[in-house]
Amino acid sequence: MAKDTFAVPELTPYIEVPKIQPGAMAHSAPFKAKEEFQTPLGYPGERVEDWQKKAIAKMGELLGKYRSLRVYLDACVKCGACTDKCHYFLGTGDPKNMPVGRQDLMRKVYRRYFTLAGKLFPKLVGAVDLTEEVLNDWYSYYHQCSQCRRCSVFCPYGIDTAEISMAAREIMDSIGVGQKYCNEIIGKVYKVGNNLGLPGPALRDTLQGIEEDVYESTGVRVRYPIDEVGAEILLVTPSADFFAEPHIDGLIGYGKVFHEAGVSWTLSSYASEAANFGMFIGSYENMRRIALRIREAAIQLKVKRIIFGECGHAWRVAYSFLNTLAGPWDFLDPRYPVPQHICEFTYDLIQQGKLKFDKSENDDKVITFHDSCNVARASRMGDMPGGQFEIPRAIIRATCNHFYDMDEETIRDRTFCCGGGGGLLTDDLMELRVKGAKPRMDALNNVMQEKGVTHMVAICAICKTQFSKVMPYYGMEMDQVLSLHQLVSNAIVLTRRTDDEEMQDDLDDAD
Amino acid sequence: MAFLTNFYAFLFYFAAFVLLAGLTRKIIQYAITPAPLKIPTTPAPTTRWGVVLRMVREVVLFESLFRGNKWTWIFGWTFHFGLFLVTLRHLRYFIEPVPYVIQLIQPFGIYGGIAMVIGLAGLWSRRFLVDRIRYISAYSDHLMLALLLGIGCTGLLMKFFFHVDVVEIKTFFQGLYRYEIQPLPADPLLMLHLLLVAVLMIIFPFSKLLHAPGLFFSPTRNQVDNPREQRHIASWAKKLEH
């Protein structure tokens, strides 16, 4: 690990609210997007001449388009209920990382230009002009929000800082001040089809490798098809699932579940990405453009159902927005919700008794579960509110003998973000990511001490990557984070079919 | 005296107009601004009735705040519920004949007044004692509490120590309905009390008091969690589809 210039916070046995330290994270800002990453998204390549006027005009436009922004900028009474809820505040003590502190960066500009009180008495109501200094604060602190919505749970008016962060990023993009990480990635989706920029042949290679590995270890021929026209199910999964541990073990698990279900399925090289970074930058247009790729792939491949792999923000866009952005889905099988989560699919099969597990395969682990923020607070699974908490836990219980939850105040809808969500999963924000992970690391460390937990399961590509990276800072191992379908993959008892034998014979003959 | 009476009569016409017109303008603005995406904070109700229930819990019990911070909840709820009782008690000045229910709650209105002042004092003390809340407080946040506390204290003083002629007050306000200006008792406490109330009415539509109508328009609270079942699309977003 490279030497870092910041101090890693010490873990504590419960959530400690720090004293405020103004300016503690003022130096944190991600790399700015150069022209090559701005223009493919329809944004100016560099900061425009009359940026102040343009930014205020854009803010006015968004106020007319988003009721959330309009109401939330007016409604805050500064009650303080949110002030100790953000993981970035708890990890850094910077008051501009308190949700209300972050909102106020935009609210004080809103008041100055859009309210009578702020026009007449700016000092009295804390209204300010949009200056260079304010813009710098925006760029810094609106990139210290992972849009996890924990603040919105506790706000008496449901004010969601994510809505304000998204609007701020959209305003900044529109004047040519964009973030490199997000915008470069969106460009890759347009050009190649996924965030990691993995081209079709590389995907096919990987999947073929997986097929061989699974056959070698199980003796069962599980298929991992891509671009197969006429398959019943289109699986859309984060591209990290093709690429790295522990993500890829999850993908292996999905394939085994489909195999046992006896359904035909396929991935798409055109829509080889579940995540939709258009949401992070608050851009409806870009979010829609990315979502439409899934529609096009579904039409081309003539599938009947769409299922999403493990990914948090992706599931938010899929569950909550896909119908809006790329619907209606009247050409798909109406018996199933569009889209479905892989956990819903696996859970249904478990309920129907169609999957057999040997739980002892996971006996070397004691598991806890991390509720991914956008699954927990911005989506649902199954028919009942809260299914997003119960269904993954039910799958864990069906596949493992040892499972313990973390402290109630840090799970379900009060879960903490991993610290890397919302477009912050980049090395140029490492200090923020490490510090922002502290509340989750505290809770994890506690169950490790008290219950002997060895592994934490997540259902989000960002969570998995972030934890693998930051856990070593806290003295833990990077492989202590697992995919949920990795547990499924370990424990599932695969049914041998006749062609499995034949293939074995073929292999034997070849020897 | 005639000058004062005239001044207050004009003031309350003006304040009532600003309050009504300002609030109407904001409510229309909130209502016509689309919410293009489904963003309820989940777990959220999956039916309209479930949402009504969720809103009732928010409006009556401050459910989210209860989960967020117990001290702020205790003081905030005490203040608001007290204010609610006080408002009911004051209806006797504005309705003739006074409905039976309003007659019944008169004594509770007094307790409400006390509760309101205690709640406000608690909320204000947090603005000084808790470093995080001190940091987020602007002058206007302090002044708002001062204003409400001023209204509450002058009211209680008139109730318990310096009585005023309530019949004359009622005559004054009843007269305003008919554009007849009846004399207002020239009592300094009453003058102050009414002045502060008028100020509150005037700043309501321009201040954070908009949290009251705002709550009803908050998409994270008032949306039904059914995006897969029903396609939700805003008019401006629909245009992108052509």
- Over residues B152-165, the pLDDT tens digits come to 999 999 999 999 99
Q: State the pairing for strand pair A367-369/A455-458.
A: parallel
Q: State the pairing for strand pair A481-483/A455-458.
A: parallel
Any A CB within 8 A of B239 CB? no
Burial environment of residue A485 by CB neighbours within 10 A (0 to 12, 13 to 18, 19 or more): buried
CATH number at residue B219: 1.20.950.20
Question: Chain A contacts of B230, Cβ < 8 Å?
Answer: 323
Q: Residue type at A7? A: A
pLDDT at residue A1, rounded to an integer: 44
List the domain range (segments joined by +) for residue B51: 2-224+234-241
Of the candidates A19, A167, A8, A160, the one whose C-alpha atom is nearest the C-alpha of residue A89 is A19
Q: Is the pLDDT of residue B225 over 50?
A: yes
pLDDT at residue B139, rounded to an integer: 95
Of the candidates B147, B73, B161, B72, the one whose C-alpha atom is nearest the C-alpha of residue B117 is B147
- Over residues B173-216, the pLDDT tens digits come to 999 999 999 999 989 999 999 999 999 999 999 999 999 999 99
Q: State the pairing for strand pair A367-369/A340-341.
A: unpaired
Q: Which two tokens stand for residue B133?
A: 């809340």
Q: A21, A61, A78: which to substitute to probe chain B, counting the most B Cβ within 10 Å?
A: A78
Rounded mean pLDDT, B73-100: 97
pLDDT at residue A504, rounded to an integer: 56
How many Å apart are CA A203 and CA A190, to the nearest integer? 17
Q: Do A159 and B65 touch (CB under 8 A)?
A: no
Q: Do B234 and A124 touch (CB under 8 A)?
A: no
B229 within domain boundaries: no
Residue A265 backbone dihedrals phi, psi, to 5 degrees: -145, 165
pLDDT at residue A82, rounded to an integer: 98
How many Å apart are CA B166 and CA A376, to the nearest integer? 55
Nearest residue of A to residue B123, measured between CA atoms: A79
Rg, chain A, Cα only: 23
Q: Do B37 and A324 touch (CB under 8 A)?
A: yes
pLDDT at residue A15, rounded to an integer: 87
Distance from CA of B161 to the nearest CA of A (A): 33
Nearest residue of B to residue A149, measured between CA atoms: B41
How many Å apart are CA A443 and CA A15, to the nearest integer? 8
Residue A32 backbone dihedrals phi, psi, to 5 degrees: -85, 150
What ipTM was predicted for this assembly?
0.96
Window 199-238 of B: residues touching A by CB (8 A cutoff) are 203, 206-208, 210-211, 214-215, 217-221, 225, 227-234, 236-237
Q: Which residues of A214-243 are buried (b: 16+ CB within 10 A; e: fewer)?
A: bbeebebbbebbbbbeebebbbbbbbbbbb
Structural domains for chain A? 35-185 (1.10.1060), 192-404+453-491 (no CATH)
pLDDT at residue A4, rounded to an integer: 67
Q: Do B218 and A76 touch (CB under 8 A)?
A: no
Any A CB within 8 A of B141 CB? yes
Q: Residue type at A469? A: K
Question: Chain B contacts of A64, Cβ < 8 Å?
Answer: 33
Nearest residue of B to residue A389, measured between CA atoms: B43
B41 within domain boundaries: yes
Any A CB within 8 A of B122 CB? no
Show the DSSP H helices in B163-234 as ranges. 166-177, 188-203, 211-216, 219-222
Q: What's the Cα-to-Cα distance from A271 to each of A211, A251, A293, rounded to whole Å? A: 21, 16, 6
Residue A482 is classified by DSSP as E
What averages of pLDDT result for each successive group of 10 residues across chain A (511 residues)?
Answer: 77 93 97 97 96 98 98 97 98 98 98 96 95 98 98 98 98 98 97 94 97 96 97 97 95 98 97 97 98 98 98 97 97 97 98 97 98 98 97 98 97 98 97 98 97 98 97 97 98 86 56 48
Nearest residue of B to residue A339, measured between CA atoms: B228
Total number of domains constituting chain B? 1
Window 16-45 of B: residues touching A by CB (8 A cutoff) are 26, 29-30, 33-39, 41-45
Q: Which residues of B156-189 are buried (b: 16+ CB within 10 A; e: fewer)?
A: bebbeeeebeeeebbbbbebbeeeeebebbebeb
